[in-house]
Amino acid sequence: MNLDALQAYLREVRHTPFRAGEHDCLTFSNAAWLRLHGRGWADDWLGRYLGPRGRLLRADELRKAFGFDAVEPAVDARLCRCTSVPPRGALVLSPGSVEARWILGASFGICVGSHAAHPGLHGLVFLPVEDITAAWVAE
């Protein structure tokens, strides 16, 4: 795990505004995971949550496209659930910023210690680790 590469990525995107399909919670967390582990955690999901003309799929369309009724079981199928305090670099799910959670009701982020980084309207938002509802680590 390359924590220095993660820190460099966070500095690069620190002021990048939320933009669905370009810099949203999935693209952000996947790119961070790529820097940490040399591969994305959801490479095959990128772009699949967008419909014609770049519109975001509705909840029922997402369930059909991904084959899961909820976000957490979909991630559980590919990563190891963390049942204790998430370590640096863990993928997390938390309320996130308002911009990032309007589809899933939550936002993917990356644990950076006592906080988790999430994309926000004007750049990264750092939420307390206590707000995290689920976390995963590489297998």
pLDDT tens per residue across span 3-15? 999 999 999 999 9
Look up tokens 């006592």; give the residue: 114
**Confidence class of residue 1 from pLDDT cuts 50, 70 and 90?**
confident
Q: Are strands 91-94 and 107-111 parallel, antiparallel or unpaired?
A: antiparallel
Q: Which domains does the chain have, with CATH numbers?
A: 3-137 (3.90.1720.10)
- Residue 133 CB-half CA count within 13 A: 11
- The model's pTM: 0.89
- Summarised one tens digit per residue, pLDDT across range 8-54 is 999 999 999 988 889 999 999 999 999 999 999 999 989 888 777 77
pLDDT digits (tens, 9 = 90+) for 103-116: 567 889 999 999 99
What would the 3-class secondary structure string for 91-102 be?
EEEECCCHHHHC
CB 68 within 8 A of CB 93: no
